[in-house]
Amino acid sequence: MPELPDIVVYIERLKARVVGTPLEKIRLASPWVLRTFDPPIVAAEQQQVLGFRRLGKRIVFCLADDLFMVVHLMVAGRLRWRDRGVAVPKKRGLAAFDFPTGSVLFTEEGTKKRASIHLVRGEDNLAEHDRGGLEPLDMTTGQLTEVLQRERHTLKRSLTDARFISGIGGAYADEIMHRARISPIIRTDRLQDEDFDRLHDAIVTVLDEWTARIRDEVGDWFPEKVTAFHDQMAVHGKFGSNCPVCGSPVQRIVYSSRETNYCPGCQTDGKILADRSLSRLLKDDFPKSLDDLE
Q: What pLDDT digit, counting tens, does each position of 179-200 carry? A: 999 999 999 999 999 999 999 9
Q: Quick one: pLDDT at residue 286?
A: 39
Does 139 score more than 70 pLDDT?
yes
Q: Quick one: pLDDT at residue 290?
A: 52
Domain limits at 161?
141-293
For 66, counting Cβ atoms within 10 Å of its Cβ (0-12 exposed, 13-18 middle, 19+ buried), the class is: middle
- In-domain check, residue 135: no
Nearest one of 117, 196, 133 to 165, comparing CA atoms = 133
State how far the Cα of 19 lies from the Cα of 174, in Å rounded to an integer: 34
Q: Residue 68: give its domain's CATH number.
A: 3.20.190.10
* Under 8 Å between Cβ of 57 and 4: yes
Mean pLDDT, to the nearest integer, of 104-123?
A: 93
- In-domain check, residue 89: yes
Mean pLDDT, to the nearest integer, of 24-38?
A: 95
Q: Quick one: pLDDT at residue 110?
A: 77
- In-domain check, residue 136: no
Q: Quick one: pLDDT at residue 279?
A: 42
- In-domain check, residue 134: no
Mean pLDDT, to the nearest integer, of 36-50?
A: 97
Mean pLDDT, to the nearest integer, of 217-232?
A: 93
- In-domain check, residue 118: yes
Q: Quick one: pLDDT at residue 276?
A: 58
Mean pLDDT, to the nearest integer, of 69-78?
A: 96
Does 138 score more than 50 pLDDT?
yes
Are 19 and 100 contained in the same domain? yes
**pLDDT tens for residues 143-179?**
999 999 999 999 999 999 999 999 999 999 999 999 9
Q: How confident is the model at residue 294 (pLDDT cuts 50, 70, 90)?
A: low
Q: Domain boundary residue among 79, 98, 127?
A: 127
Does 282 score more than 50 pLDDT?
no
Q: Domain boundary residue among 97, 127, 157?
A: 127
- In-domain check, residue 186: yes
Mean pLDDT, to the nearest integer, of 47-53?
A: 98
Q: What percent of the chain has pLDDT over 70?
A: 93
Mean pLDDT, to the nearest integer, of 218-222?
A: 95
Mean pLDDT, to the nearest integer, of 76-96?
A: 95
* Under 8 Å between Cβ of 265 and 234: no
pTM (predicted TM-score): 0.92
- In-domain check, residue 251: yes
Residue 135 CB partners (closer than 8 Å, separation 6+): 166, 167
Tally of structural domains, the chain:
2
Q: What percent of the chain has pLDDT over 90?
A: 87
Q: For residue 68, which amino acid is it?
A: F
Are 148 and 97 contained in the same domain? no
Classified as helix, coil or strand, 193 is helix
